[in-house]
Structure 1
Amino acid sequence: MANTILRLKHHRKAFHALGLFSTLLLVMQRVGAFEFKVGEANGWTVPTDSNANTYNQWAEMKRFQIGDSLLFVYSADKDSVLQVNKEEYESCNSTSPTATFKDGHTSIKFDKNGPYYFISGVPENCKKNEKMVVVVMADRSNQSSTTNQTSSASPPSPSSSIENAPAPSPVTEIAPSTPSAESPTTPSGASSVFVSAIASIAAFAGSSMLLVL
């Protein structure tokens, strides 16, 4: 009888340990993708130097991949964000954008690789370089040699990457998201198939332990 009780206690401890392990793995899954705040502290606005490509310079310093997202923070009553094609970007044409965002706190998630073009919904602001090109690379969960090679290379500039990159699919308007932390780069989504598989195995093991009990 004493041995049976002891075994049950050990089984319960093992089950709790597996449960904690599964929870930890699920949390780890949410560390792979990132949300980048456009313009960081200044947000989405007309650059201080309207002759400089401020936002493109900022974008060239980042490495955007599928699953990442951009956060645009701006005054909803004074500005907006338009996703456009290359020609509309270059001419600041706001008449037929792919998507329009006016909520003041816009989060746009990348679902495909290639260039994404954004301009201010105010034509005069766009002409003062409130516009940006973002080149999205491969998925963070893709562990192929192509991804590894890309990770070791320096981020390509929009001017050198846009011509050969496939055009992204239209992005529908996204509802306002909960404000992110102070840091311009914060975790935002799942990223690893391997971690997901381990989490599933751990959950299965925990279920099997319940049957033993």
Structure 2
Amino acid sequence: MASATQFKVGESKGWTVPEDPNFYSQWAESNRFQIGDSLLFVYPQGQDSVLLVKQEDYNTCNTSSFIEAYRDGNTVFTLSSSGPFYFISGNQENCLKHESLVVVVMGEKSNATAPSLPPSPSMASPPPPPESIIGTPITSPSVETISPPSAGSTMVMSLMTSVGALIGSLLYVL
């Protein structure tokens, strides 16, 4: 297993109201987070905080409902499972100004090997020819000769095709 990485949220800017509303989403998209990695949130203690919230609270900047709250100014949060983690500023006004972050943690790689697949039909050998059952050879079923359609049935089919095309074009126009 690879060693865990600590990511400083916002890099040199830290956890603050961003100038660019897409700053934290672009930052998160430019990194790959794995189970065991951690996020370091650096912000002025007493002036801001970090809230771990549910997606609904993230979407509405609801600072009154949270899973965990951090106010120490130097918060380290360990990513303990795969999936999304939602963070917002504990200051609702800051959150509304896009001080919020979604981090998606990748799942663990499986060391199990993939099951082997059967060969494709083009690669498989053809089935053996049929054998006789109790001494009676298997024969192909008899083929009946089919006579061509009569002139009357051909006219009916042609008329039905024309009516169907007319109805289809009328429906298309409507």
TM range, smaller chain: 0.5 to 0.7
Separation of aligned partners in 2, 1:139 and 1:32: 13
Match of 2:15 in 1: 44
Change (3 A) 1:77 1:56: same
Q: 5+ unaligned residues in a row in structure 2: which ranges?
A: 115-174
Separation of aligned partners in 1, 2:43 and 2:36: 23
- Match of residue 133, structure 1, among 81, 92, 102: 102
Match of 1:16 in 2: none
Match of 2:53 in 1: 84
Q: What does 1:83-122 correspond to in 2, within 5 Å?
A: 83-122=52-91
Q: Secondary structure at the match of 1:119?
A: strand
Q: What does 1:1-213 correspond to in 2, within 5 Å?
A: 32-49=3-20, 52-139=21-108, 142-144=110-112
Paired AA for residue 90 in structure 1 = N
State the shift of 1:145 in Å. Answer: 6.4
Query: Taking every aligned residue pair, what percent have the same amino acid on both sides?
Result: 53
State the shift of 1:143 in Å. Answer: 3.9
Separation of aligned partners in 1, 2:34 and 2:108: 5
Aligned residues of 1:113 and 1:138 also touching (Cα < 8 A): yes
State the shift of 1:139 in Å. Answer: 3.3
Q: Deviations over 1:114-163 (max 9, x none)?
A: 000000000000000000000000237x54569xxxxxxxxxxxxxxxxx
Q: Deviations over 1:17-47 (max 9, x none)?
A: xxxxxxxxxxxx8x61100000000100000
Separation of aligned partners in 2, 1:144 and 1:136: 21
Change (3 A) 1:137 1:144: farther
CA-based RMSD:
1.8
State the shift of 1:71 in Å. Answer: 0.3
Paired AA for residue 135 in structure 1 = V
Change (3 A) 1:101 1:144: farther
Change (3 A) 1:144 1:57: farther
Paired AA for residue 125 in structure 1 = N
Larger Rg: 2
Change (3 A) 1:54 1:145: farther
Aligned residues of 1:67 and 1:139 also touching (Cα < 8 A): no
Separation of aligned partners in 1, 2:6 and 2:112: 23
Separation of aligned partners in 1, 2:28 and 2:34: 12
State the shift of 1:106 in Å. Answer: 0.3
Q: Secondary structure at the match of 1:132?
A: strand
Separation of aligned partners in 1, 2:16 and 2:113: 39
Higher helix share: 1
Separation of aligned partners in 2, 1:135 and 1:96: 21
